[in-house]
Structure 1
Amino acid sequence: MTAVDLLLVGCGKMGGAMLAGWRAAGTVRRVVIVDPAAEAAPEGAMLVADPAQIPADFAPDAVVLAVKPQMMDQALPAYVPYAGRAVFLSIAAGKTIAYFQKVLGQGTALVRAMPNTPAAVGRGISGAYATPAVSPAQRDLCQSLLSAVGEVVWVAEEGLIDAVTAVSGSGPAYVFHLVEALAAAGAAAGLPPDLALRLARATVTGAGELLHRNPGTTATQLRINVTSPKGTTQAALDVLMDEAQGLTPLMVRTVAAADRRSRELAG
């Protein structure tokens, strides 16, 4: 893809991670960042504190909305002049297409995406939804922008973004809590707490790396590979895989709660 001009609204952790990915991939040519809280412009980018300071001749191919959702009401109206020319890519949780159309106009090319925090190390995954106004070239552009920090999946209905949020958007927190829980269980079994935490952390990150390096092998097969019949792992899995009280019914309730809350926040 030919390098493009971008307007990045907000350069916090997620916006900054995406910018680093774009620069590494050579995706962007000219970047203007609007962020009153940023202290210095990243190399190769122009930083302004107010949208009124954006150069008059700057015509971005995409406007990436990376401000916090609670700041969007105040920030968004300033970018109405770019509607109809640029594709708007939002990574703001809970802000719906209808919300943006109300401000930017019904015919605005809009993509709503939900990345997750592993984007900070280039290992994220984003779920995305495009409105009919998004052209194939604009969709390809957003695909390129999002894939600079990890994998990208597209959903056919905007409502599925809530489920994406519940699985992958919030999912890293579930994994971090798994480390906490496994460490606590190790300590309960008699291990020193610091050693239990070290074992739990390395086990989860190592297992994740096995998944990453073996894309053609299912998680089910990897589980089977480390489970000897009537062994210690099987004894543990008999608890975790209990149909009524095991991990799967717990995760179903967990994701359902996050999905429900995502819909509530979206109004």
Structure 2
Amino acid sequence: MAFQPAPKVIRCMTNTPVVVREGATVYATGTHALVEDGQLLEQLMSSVGFCTEVEEDLIDAVTGLSGSGPAYAFMALDALADGGVKMGLPRRLAVRLGAQALLGAAKMLLDSEQHPGQLKDNVCSPGGATIHALHFLESGGFRSLLINAVEASCIRTRELQLMADQEKISPAALKKTLLDRVKLESPTVSTLTPCSPGKVLTRRPAPGSKKD
């Protein structure tokens, strides 16, 4: 396995909404990467959402926020829909209303460029239902839970990177390991199972193949 003596490396972090062209991608250029290389990547990733350059030491924090962020949103949406169902709404309608509320709120924020706290205040009428609901969320530590979730994801990302650095092996050993894993001599065809950021890819036998 041969490597260029001075490879051009660009480190990126994106997220799953790129599949609907609403993703968020950040990147950091390596020592030998040119400005033009970064511009090309930005042009490519901007076609599937937002893309910007950051310092490399910020990418782990980005992972905690926007890399894992869609999962936070899906969990919040699932809970909102459960609340709607509890109050009598059909499940399908509850999911649609919750999703539209999150989508609309995000669009309002991006279009207006107002602070999210101001937009939140705009929804709350004195003595109304929304301010009572927000008080309930605050008493349950809603903000702290989200802050801690971002921090936990970021810290785990750094732990995984440290583990990878400690397990570095030679290119020859890496090539042998890869060949052993795919078992080129075996008729079994293996496929990669998709996984979330920070998890290790696993292999599963193709349909119809025999187990060892």
How big is the alpha-carbon RMSD for the aligned residues of Structure 1 and Structure 2? 2.0
Q: 1:192 Cα deviation (Å)?
A: 3.9
Gaps of 5+ in 1: 1-76, 84-104
Task: Select which of 129, 135, 142 maps to 1:247.
Answer: 142
Q: 1:215 Cα deviation (Å)?
A: 4.2
Aligned to 1:197: 95
Alignment length (residue pairs): 162
Aligned to 1:206: 104
Q: Does 1:121 align with 2:27?
A: no
AA of the residue aligned to 1:200? G
Alpha-carbon distance in structure 1 between the residues aligned to 2:90 and 2:14: 36
**CA shift digits 1:115-149 (9 cap, x unpaired):** 11111122111121111222222222222222221
**CA shift digits 1:67-120 (9 cap, x unpaired):** xxxxxxxxxx47x3xx4xxxxxxxxxxxxxxxxxxxxx4x32211001111111
Q: Does 1:258 align with 2:153?
A: yes
Alpha-carbon distance in structure 1 between the residues aligned to 2:18 and 2:112: 19
- Equivalent positions of 1:79-118 (< 5 A) are 80=3, 83=4, 105=5, 107-118=6-17
Q: 1:224 Cα deviation (Å)?
A: 1.7
Aligned to 1:236: 133
Quote the sequence identity (%).
38
Task: Select which of 126, 145, 170 maps to 2:44.
Answer: 145
Q: Secondary structure at the match of 1:128?
A: strand
Alpha-carbon distance in structure 2 between the residues aligned to 1:248 and 1:184: 20
Q: Secondary structure at the match of 2:81?
A: helix
Q: 1:232 Cα deviation (Å)?
A: 0.7
Aligned to 2:71: 173
AA of the residue aligned to 1:124? G
Alpha-carbon distance in structure 2 between the residues aligned to 1:147 and 1:217: 23
Alpha-carbon distance in structure 1 between the residues aligned to 2:44 and 2:94: 39
Alpha-carbon distance in structure 2 between the residues aligned to 1:139 and 1:202: 34
- Larger C-alpha radius of gyration, 1 or 2? 2
AA of the residue aligned to 1:258? S
**In proportion to residue count, which structure has more helix?**
2
**In proportion to residue count, which structure has more strand?**
1
Alpha-carbon distance in structure 2 between the residues aligned to 1:139 and 1:236: 45
**CA shift digits 1:22-77 (9 cap, x unpaired):** xxxxxxxxxxxxxxxxxxxxxxxxxxxxxxxxxxxxxxxxxxxxxxxxxxxxxxx4
Aligned to 1:222: 119
Report which stretch shifted further, 190-199 or 120-129: 190-199
Alpha-carbon distance in structure 2 between the residues aligned to 1:208 and 1:258: 22
AA of the residue aligned to 2:38? R
Alpha-carbon distance in structure 2 between the residues aligned to 1:201 and 1:217: 21
Report which stretch shifted further, 144-153 or 197-206: 197-206
AA of the residue aligned to 2:132? A
* Residues 120 and 192 of structure 1, relative CA distance in 2, 3 Å threshold: closer
Runs of 4+ that moved beyond 6 A: none
* Residues 174 and 131 of structure 1, relative CA distance in 2, 3 Å threshold: same
Aligned to 2:196: none
Q: Secondary structure at the match of 1:134?
A: coil
